[in-house]
């Protein structure tokens, strides 16, 4: 079941390798080679060529549903306020004191530490750039949620869309891509523009299908500038869509349960390998 889009607002911050810019990847390899004394080929390191943009089979999906429990909605609002204030003491009151899990290949939570301490490590809330709190804010703003079969009374967010696994496998094979290179629009009719600008001409509109995200995406230089994703549509057109209109597959999930009648954070799926 477990597969880190969180919702569209976090895609660029949590992009899997396939979403990372090729230039950065190449640069990192080059620096590593020089540091280790490994001779580079003539002309330096070159990443493998990107898969050509061609039309591909449209694979429909069912969008995840919002979790509309009113108590949970109120809890998410409270969590968002805590994240905005970066209030670790208040956060500790909404994390389970015992039984916190942190799932990767196995449960890597330190059972000798509090739930809060494990959550701080999982989300890297002590990062100097504040990125961990940004992630927490993104989870607080995520309206979807889904139950976890092997964990009774636990829901995790964001919920995953429903996709025909065989159709997705066939799509990946036919396009010679990798699963992390695919995302989906959060609503029908998302506009695809000719450039990464809000006023650029619209070249197409997306349906509720899988969409190939190209590998040359980079965050905007100005953090206040609207972010866009470079994508390829099923018809074979390249274009740009607003980042917050897209979600990715295989995202990390924050998990919740009711403890003493109140919602609390009880676990996390994902994060850096331990």
Quick: pLDDT tens for 226-267: 899 999 999 999 999 999 999 988 889 999 999 989 999 999
Which pLDDT band, with edges at 50, 70 and 90, does 269 fall under? Answer: very high
Q: How crowded is residue 222: how many other Cβ atoms within 10 Å of its Cβ? A: 8
Quick one: average pLDDT of 207-218? Answer: 91
Task: For the chain, count helices (H), then strands (E).
Answer: 6, 14
CA distance 235 to 30: 36
The C-alpha atoms of residue 92 and residue 143 are separated, in whole angstroms, by: 22
pLDDT over 50 (residue 32): no
Q: Does the pLDDT at position 117 exceed 90?
A: yes
- Which of the two residues, 39 and 123, has the higher pLDDT score? 123
Structure confidence by residue, pLDDT tens digits, 186-199: 999 999 999 999 99
Helical axes 131-140 vs 70-85, angle rounded to 10°: 160
What number is the average pLDDT over the span 206-214? 96
Q: Which of 256, 258, 29, 44 is closest to 267 using CA atoms? A: 256
Provide the percentage of residues in the chain whose pLDDT is more than 90: 70
Q: Give residue 155's pLDDT.
A: 97
Break the chain into its structural domains and give their ranges. Answer: 70-161+254-269
Q: Which CATH architecture has domain 70-161+254-269?
A: Roll (3.10)
pLDDT score for 122:
96
pLDDT at 218: 73
């Amino acid at each position: 079941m477990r597969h880190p889009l969180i919702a569209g607002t976090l895609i660029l911050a949590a992009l899997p390798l396939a979403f990372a810019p090729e230039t950065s990847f190449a640069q990192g390899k080059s620096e590593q080679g020089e540091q280790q004394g490994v001779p580079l080929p003539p002309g330096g390191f070159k990443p493998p060529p990107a898969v050509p943009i061609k039309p591909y089979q449209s694979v429909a999906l069912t969008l995840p549903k919002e979790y509309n429990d009113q108590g949970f909605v109120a809890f998410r609002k409270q969590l968002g306020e805590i994240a905005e204030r970066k209030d670790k003491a208040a956060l500790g009151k909404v994390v389970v004191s015992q039984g916190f899990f942190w799932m990767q290949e196995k449960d890597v939570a330190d059972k000798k530490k509090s739930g809060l301490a494990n959550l701080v490590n999982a989300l890297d809330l002590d990062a100097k750039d504040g990125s961990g709190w940004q992630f927490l804010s993104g989870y607080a703003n995520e309206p979807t949620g889904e139950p976890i079969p092997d964990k009774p009374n636990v829901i995790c967010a964001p919920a995953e869309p429903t996709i025909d696994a065989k159709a997705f496998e066939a799509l990946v094979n036919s396009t010679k891509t990798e699963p992390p290179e695919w995302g989906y629009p959060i609503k029908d009719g998302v506009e695809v523009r000719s450039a990464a600008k809000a006023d650029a001409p619209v070249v197409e509109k997306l349906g509720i299908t899988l969409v190939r995200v190209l590998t040359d995406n980079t965050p905007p230089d100005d953090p206040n500038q609207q972010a866009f994703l470079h994508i390829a549509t099923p018809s074979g057109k390249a274009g740009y869509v607003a980042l917050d209109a897209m979600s990715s597959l295989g995202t990390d999930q924050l998990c919740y349960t009711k403890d003493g009648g109140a919602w609390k954070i009880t676990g996390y799926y994902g994060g850096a390998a331990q």
